[in-house]
Amino acid sequence: MKLLKSTATVGLATILSRILGFVRDMVLARFFGASGQTDAFFLAFKIPNFMRRLFAEGSFSLAFVPVFSEVRASGDKRAMRDLVDHVTGTLAGILLVITAIGVIAAPAVLAIFAPGWLIEERPEFGLSAGMLRITFPYILFISLTALAGGILNSFEKFLVPALTPILLNLSLIFAAVWLSGQFEVPVRALAVGVFIAGVAQLLIQIPALMRLGMLPRPRWGWKHSGVRKILRLMIPTLIGSSVAQVNLLFDSVIATFLVSGSVSWLYYSDRLLEFPLGVFGVALSTVILPNLSRKFARNNPEAFSATLDWALRLALIITLPAAVGLALLARPILVTLFQYDAFSLSDVEMSALSLSAYALGLPAFIAVKVLAPGFYARQDTKTPVKIAIIAMVSNMVMNLVFVGVLLLLAFNGPHTGLALASSMAAYINAGLLYRKLREGGVYVPVPGWLRVFLAVGAASIGMWAGLAWFAGDVSLWASLGAVDRATRLLLVVAGGAAAYGILLLVFGLRRKHLEKGAA
């Protein structure tokens, strides 16, 4: 059960971070609401945040960890340090250039992601471009933080990297509450908060690296064999590892053509989706990648397949009820967390529409995070790229179709089509990844899946019925005070989780149906 314990460690640390993330978003909603100014900040933050997931948590980590694990398996510590030194120097050098270009050319970069604001000459464009100059260096700091996290994860030191995002939440809360009053346009303080967080997240990794004797001494190493291997693996994974993020960012591009507030509504619903995705999906992906990489390096295909099977079963058991609960409780959750001061009931309704659509895709979003490491651990980056291209093109087409149809129908909330398209594209991505692993014989399901499917499906239906009965109308939630809302929500969620767990046992699911492959 070592993998399960590691996943739980990362998951618990991430839960703490996500709780603070909710506090952060509650503060932002209370102070700034959903407006053109918040749209401007969220896009100025989303661009470097998107690049973080693409370069740092996405392609870089997925390329670095297998190569570093391979060197570590040889037992040559000098080779490990040499690789870390040259990777750090090369990565920092490249990112310094990218950051400088991003800061200087911020309006041009923003024009790519917010053409609607530029064409319509909306004030959000100038405000967002100014904030982007402050937030763009975040990609430099957080990418180096991801390098440090990759080293620590390879040594099965998961706690510090998992706790690091807490600093971003604390920094933004500080900026909103204490710094915003110092700015003529208060929302600009949030951009400064992002910059401060990037520096803090990098610095907190240093003591853990020093304890391992792996603190980098940066050296430029473009021709270093390990660096070149990572770069070769990294280039295709720029697309393959982060298709969901590309899809979410494309949502924002189209949202800039829609009514003011659309970017913010998508942001708040995406943040709620990120809770189960981050707590469980990222935790599981973080834990299994180095594990799969070691099993591949030791030429143990049976153990490799069993690990994938365990991860997929655990993903199904957790994500299906999470998706049901998130869709059903979208309005109560949004009212409880955000509906104060500047955030109106109308904002709740608009955000709930996109949250429900995102929730439909939660099982697929997490399945991708489980299945993709099955390719990256074997240093196969071409297959996920081909599949990701198909998924991205499908998402773009569905974005235009779904939004277009909703606009023709005069639907109050056409941004919902963007969330729905992202969910459908995630299922295409996950389905094709699964098929390729099966066709190549890399993944062979362990017997017992039918029992798992039936138990999880039946328990989720039972939980849905109970939640629908006890949730109540949104007007009831809106009439309550903050403490009463939070208490009621906790009771409903805890009751639903307890009912789901009991129903799993009633329908015959036992620990033995999950354990194989978790060693």
Phi, psi of 195 (to 5 degrees): -60, -45
Burial of 217 (0-12, 13-18, 19+ CB in 10 A): exposed
**In what helix (H) or strand (E) does residue 248 lie, and over which residues does it extend?**
helix 243-255
Other C-beta atoms within 10 Å of 4: how many?
17
**In what helix (H) or strand (E) does residue 490 lie, and over which residues does it extend?**
helix 482-506
Q: Judge contact between 499 and 462, C-beta under 8 A.
A: yes
Concatenate the DSSP letters of all residues of 90-147 into one string: HHHHHHHHHHHHHHHTHHHHHHHH-HHHHHTT-HHHHHHHHHHHHHTTHHHHHHHHHH
Distance CA 73, CA 68 (A): 9
Amino acid, single-letter form, for residue 394: S
Sorted by sequence, the CB contacts under 8 Å of residue 468 that are 6+ apart come out as 328
Other C-beta atoms within 10 Å of 332: how many?
24
* Residue 10, token pair as written in the block: 């990362």
**In what helix (H) or strand (E) does residue 40 lie, and over which residues does it extend?**
helix 36-51
Distance CA 222, CA 43 (A): 33
Q: Judge contact between 184 and 203, C-beta under 8 A.
A: no
Distance CA 293, CA 310 (A): 16
- Nearest one of 60, 439, 429 to 236, comparing CA atoms: 60
* Residue 215, token pair as written in the block: 């603190």
* Residue 310, token pair as written in the block: 């365990």
Listed in order, strand segments (DSSP E) in 34-140 are none
CA dihedral 295, 296, 300, 306 (to 10 degrees): 70
String of b and e for 182-192 (b: at least 16 CB within 10 Å)? Answer: eeeebbbbbbb
Maximal CA-CA distance, the chain: 65
At residue 245, the pLDDT reads: 61
* Residue 328, token pair as written in the block: 């059903």
Other C-beta atoms within 10 Å of 199: how many?
16
> Under the phi-then-psi rule, with left for phi > 0, alpha for psi from -120 to 50, and beta for the rest, what region is 158?
alpha
Task: Report how far apart, in Å, the C-alpha atoms of 50 and of each of 8, 56, 86, 233 are.
Answer: 26, 10, 25, 20
* Residue 261, token pair as written in the block: 């507030």
String of b and e for 116-141 (b: at least 16 CB within 10 Å)? Answer: bbbeeebebbebbbbbbbbbbbbbbb
Other C-beta atoms within 10 Å of 20: how many?
18
Query: For helices 166-174 and 2-32, what crossing angle results, to 10°?
Result: 10
Q: Using DSSP, state whether 379 is helix, strand or coil.
A: coil
Q: Judge contact between 106 and 132, C-beta under 8 A.
A: yes
Other C-beta atoms within 10 Å of 221: how many?
20
Per residue of the chain (519 residues), give pLDDT as tens. Answer: 555 566 666 667 777 877 888 788 888 888 887 777 888 898 888 888 777 766 665 567 777 777 887 888 777 788 888 988 998 898 889 889 989 999 999 999 888 888 888 888 888 899 999 999 999 999 899 888 888 888 887 787 777 887 888 899 999 999 999 998 888 889 999 999 999 999 999 999 999 899 888 888 888 887 888 888 887 877 766 665 555 566 666 777 788 788 878 878 888 888 788 778 767 777 777 777 778 888 887 888 888 888 889 889 988 998 999 999 999 999 999 998 887 777 788 888 999 999 999 999 999 999 998 898 888 888 787 888 888 889 888 998 999 999 999 999 988 889 899 999 989 999 999 999 999 999 988 898 888 888 889 999 999 999 998 888 887 788 888 888 888 898 999 899 899 999 999 998 898 877 766 665 444
Q: Judge contact between 492 and 471, C-beta under 8 A.
A: yes
Using alpha carbons only, what angle is made at residue 448 by residues 446 and 451, rounded to the nearest 5 degrees?
A: 150
Phi, psi of 282 (to 5 degrees): -65, -40
Alpha helix segments (H runs only) across 409-481: 416-439, 449-471, 474-478
Q: Judge contact between 375 and 438, C-beta under 8 A.
A: no
Sorted by sequence, the CB contacts under 8 Å of residue 385 that are 6+ apart come out as 236, 237, 239, 240
Listed in order, strand segments (DSSP E) in 184-272 are none
